[in-house]
Amino acid sequence: MSLFDLTTSISSPELTEAEKRQLFIKTLIKEFKSGVAKLSYSALSKFKRSPNAFINYKMKSFETTDSMILGKLVHALVLEPDTINASFYTDEEMVKEIGGASPRSTKAYKEWKANQLEIYPEKELVSYGVFLQAKRMAKAVLSNRAAKHILSQIHQTEHKIEFEHDGIKFTSFLDGLGEIILDLKICTDADPRKFQRDIIYNNYHIQAGVYTTAVGEVLPYYIIAVDRECEVSVHHLMEDLVMKGISIFEKLVTEFKQCLDKENFDESFDYRAYTEEGVYKMDVPPYLN
C-alpha cells in the first residue's frame, strides 16, 4: 500500500483515529525504507522538533490561506513575472460589480467563484487586496539596492533538485541559483537585527545546509527578507554558519534513519530527552544565583 492509496484507507469509519495514525506511520516507514518516499526541508524541520510533529505534518490536510497565496505571488512577481497571468487571477471586477460591505459573502460571489474554479482549475484565485499587497512587496524587493545586486547573480529560478544523502532521498526547490544560492522570505519583520534572530529560531541556517548539500558545492548563500510593510533586508549567511547548518542536517538525517529503524514516530519531546525515561532535568539556572 502506498501513501496515495492510504488516503482512502485511513478515511474508513471502521478505523479509530489511533489505528489510522498507526497505519499511516507503518506505511510511511515502509516507503522511506524502500526509497519511494522523499524528504523536504519543511518535513525535516518538523522532525527536528519531534517525530510526533513530523507525523502530524505529513498527515495534515493543507488548505491554501491568503498568507500562502501572498507568498506565492511575491515569489512569482520577483522571480518569474512572466508566469503571473498563467497562474493567478483576481476577483477585482466581480467585487466591484457586486458592491456592498461584504461582497465575497454573497450568493452571487460564491456562484461566480465556483464557476471560475471550473473554468480555470490550473489557476489560483487571489483577492484583489492580496494581489495589490504582493505587487507592493515585490516592487520593494526589485527596487532595493542590495536585493537588485543579489538578483543579478542568479540564472535559474524555482529550481528543483532531487538528491540522496545517507540513503534518504530529498527534494528541494531553490528560489534562485547561479553564482549564489538565493532564498526569498516573506517575514513578519525585515528589520536586520530581528530577522537575523529569526534565521536561527526558524532554522534557516539548516535550510541553507540542505540546499548547499543539494547543489553539491558551497556557494555564497543569501536571504532576501521582505515584510508586509514593504521593508527589505538582505542577509549573507557566512560559510561557517552554512557549514554548521550542513552539520545539523547530517545529524538530523542520522536521527531520522534511527527513528525509522526503531519506529519511534509516536514520541514527542521525550525523543531527545537527557534520560532513557525521556525526562528533562533542570537545575538552578545561573540567572537565579
Q: What is the pLDDT of residues 65-82, one digit of tens each?
A: 888 999 999 999 999 999
pLDDT of residue 2: 55
Query: Residues 73, 75, 81, 82: is their CA dihedral positive or negative?
Result: negative
The band of 254, judged by pLDDT with boundaries at 50, 70 and 90, is very high
Domains of the chain: 1-37 (no CATH), 39-61+74-79+136-265 (3.90.320.10), 66-73+80-135 (no CATH)
- Residues 150-167 have pLDDT tens digits of 999 999 999 999 999 999
Average pLDDT over the chain, rounded to an integer: 92
pLDDT score of 205: 97
Measure Cα distances from 234 to 14, 15, 110, 142 in Å.
53, 50, 41, 12
- How far is CA 286 from its chain centroid? 37
Which residue carries 535550510 as its cell? Answer: 207
Question: pTM (2 decimals)?
Answer: 0.87
| The pLDDT value given to residue 62 | 77
